[in-house]
Structure 1
Amino acid sequence: MSTPARVCVLLATHNGERYLEQQLESILNQEGVELRVLASDDASRDGTLELLHTIAARDPRVTVLPQGTFGSPSGNFYRLIDEADLDWAEFIGFADQDDVWLPGKLARHATILRDQGVDGVSSNVVAFDEHGRESLIRKDTPQRLADYVFETPGPGSSMLVSRRLMRLIREQLQNPDSPARKAWSHDLLFYALARAAGCSWYVDPEPTVAYRQHGENAIGANGTFKAAAKRLELTASRWHRKLVQIVVESCIHVATPAELPRLQWLHEVLSDVRGINRLRLARRAGEFRRTPRDRVILATLMVTGLW
């Protein structure tokens, strides 16, 4: 890049002392960008807040907001978005407390955003556990017409977005008529608002994050039987369907004329998912997920009423 991009990384923490220093080191060691980190702690009871202040004392690029209680990673990120300096930042990223960012992540994605003129970028990631086992989590499959309200384009920690998109996201989070702030998956919400508003999004096939898997993950990677069983249990509880409803309603507020009819149809059908509406949704499952396997699974869950 001719001039280094100004990047603000939003870091949400909660009882994350164990892995936090390694994560922050991988962020602060990013080269080729002008970097600031804004951190918010959600009522940690371990040494997380003290560690944040220790790191901030030795590195002026780190700012720690007053501790609060937010109840979820998404609520914490929404607070960070409220406080971020969007006049300074050209691009905004999102950091979990326990991953490891690979070298060159920010410079690579800032270059993609600049050169390709897109408003959002995410990537494949490499999941790893405490036993050293690794697996590639692919998210770079072709986008579908409405995948953006059903699945993310990668973990939020892999995302980098433009100032323009972040302002749109902030406006909707602060819009009293929008349910956006109720969405408990910030990464899905950000991607959905971008696509609904006609912003372009690129999914980088090059992994940029080592995605740590452990017992405290809010959701985690869907690459094991245990993780798949957890997702099925959540799906049967209508967790995902309720999230999709919130995201659809949020997207209607920013939708382009091309996207609005599709979102209005989804809003209507999702308001009463019984009988014929289950079949109507299942028939269009090909629009909702990016891989053939996931389309079949979703259609089956819809038809059987488990979704």
Structure 2
Amino acid sequence: MISTCRHNHPNPMPPDTAASPQVAILLGTYNGEKYLPEQLDSYASQSYGNWKAWASDDSSSDATPKLLNDYQRKWGEEKLAIINGPARGCTRNFLSLATNPAIVADYYAFSDQDDIWEPDKLQRALDWLQTQPQDIPALYCSRTMFVDEANHDIGVSQLYTRPPAFANALVQNIASGNTMVFNHAARQLLCASGADADVYIHDWWLYLLVTACGGPVHYDPHPTLRYRQHDINLIGMNTGWKARLARIRMLFAGRLAEWDEQHVRALQKLDSHLIATTKQTLRLFAMARHRRLLPRLVGFKRAGIYRQTRLGNVGLLIAAAFGKL
């Protein structure tokens, strides 16, 4: 059994709202006054209306807390709850939200503070999620439309065509957190790993968790939000040669190997939740990482790891050869 978050009420399962499932929007904020109103307004413009936003503010020093309070007065506490974040960075903030025992819903949606959701974002996600069994972890994600600071279109995120899978998740994250919507069973996996899971970033971790436990991931090629690009983005556009060169630099600086080590350790702690094929893939991957060149390359091949593009797989082979995985 997957352990659930502890709750102060007797029933830890989501409310029985089969006709109109409730979505908990998990919003992480930190000094976001400039763009936050547009993001909040885009929630209110959703074609699907049964949602409640939970804003975890990570000790903002600007007008973000005031803005949140203003919207709470306008919408009511039944639509917006405000809590204090752990003040330990983006990943910890989102994981603390996802594992907060006060938050119980049928589905959950991560949200950054500076994007703009398309009006059908939640509806598109629920159209797929509601076709999946409730007791199996399921994750929805999508492409994004890149926009500049003034909300002008500047491009679309890369289209991934290979299937989402654990063998892909080990070496690449195709699921952008700001597009993610997931069911209660997937949320229980985050609870099982805990708010303090030693992982690089919350969205990659959820992609790993769901696929590792045999859950389906749906990558929607239709952009569901406007992903704003600006100077203080933690993670920005992943397209173009500039982005590719940045990833190459991180690769040869050992960042991917560092993240892989974190993920392997964190997944091994959840061994009882993993399906048999995942355990085999993880074992082969973990063993190959510490072998000499030829056994390392053979081990990675047997593990079946892959990235989404031909160029990405060339980079993966080079990284494997130089011991950077």
Q: TM-score scaled to structure 2, two decimals?
A: 0.84
Instruction: Assess if the C-alpha contact under 8 Å between 1:152 and 1:188 holds in 2.
Output: yes
Other structure's SS at 2:84 match: coil
Moved more, 204-213 or 241-250: 241-250
Q: How does 1:7-156 map to 2 (within 5 A)?
A: 7-60=23-76, 61-70=79-88, 72-83=89-100, 85=102, 87=104, 89-117=105-133, 119-130=138-149, 132-143=152-163, 144=165, 146-156=167-177
Instruction: Assess if the C-alpha contact under 8 Å between 2:33 and 2:67 holds in 1.
Output: yes
The 2-side partners of 1:219 and 1:150 are apart by: 17
Instruction: Choose which of 230, 251, 254 in structure 2 pairs with 1:214.
Output: 230
1:143-184 CA-to-partner distances (Å, cap 9, x unmatched) read 25500122223310111100111012111116xxxxx71112
The 1-side partners of 2:65 and 2:302 are apart by: 46
Instruction: Assess if the C-alpha contact under 8 Å between 2:287 and 2:299 holds in 1.
Output: no
Aligned length: 299
Letter in 2 for 1:113: L
1:121-152 CA-to-partner distances (Å, cap 9, x unmatched) read 10111112237342121354222550012222
Instruction: Assess if the C-alpha contact under 8 Å between 1:282 and 1:298 holds in 2.
Output: no
Percentage of pairs with the same residue: 27
Q: Which residue of 2 aligns with 1:296?
A: 314
Instruction: Assess if the C-alpha contact under 8 Å between 1:236 and 1:306 holds in 2.
Output: yes
Other structure's SS at 2:73 match: helix
Structure 2: segments with no counterpart, 5+ residues:
1-16
The 1-side partners of 2:161 and 2:54 are apart by: 32
1:223-243 CA-to-partner distances (Å, cap 9, x unmatched) read 133333332222222222211
The 1-side partners of 2:52 and 2:153 are apart by: 32
Alignment pair present for 1:161 and 2:177: no
The 2-side partners of 1:2 and 1:164 are apart by: 16
Shift of 1:66: 2.5
Instruction: Assess if the C-alpha contact under 8 Å between 1:194 and 1:201 holds in 2.
Output: yes
Structure 1: segments with no counterpart, 5+ residues:
175-179
The 2-side partners of 1:69 and 1:158 are apart by: 23
Alignment pair present for 1:239 and 2:258: no
Letter in 2 for 1:82: T
Q: How does 1:242-281 map to 2 (within 5 A)?
A: 242-252=258-268, 253=270, 254-270=273-289, 272=290, 275-276=293-294, 278-280=296-298
Q: TM-score scaled to structure 1, two decimals?
A: 0.89
Moved more, 15-24 or 215-224: 215-224
The 2-side partners of 1:187 and 1:116 are apart by: 20
1:34-70 CA-to-partner distances (Å, cap 9, x unmatched) read 1100011112222112211221121120111025412
- Of Structure 1 and Structure 2, the greater helix share is in 1
Shift of 1:26: 0.8
The 2-side partners of 1:47 and 1:235 are apart by: 37
Moved more, 296-305 or 254-263: 296-305
Large movers: runs of 4+ above 6 Å: none
1:166-208 CA-to-partner distances (Å, cap 9, x unmatched) read 012111116xxxxx71112111100110011011111111110
Other structure's SS at 1:5 match: coil
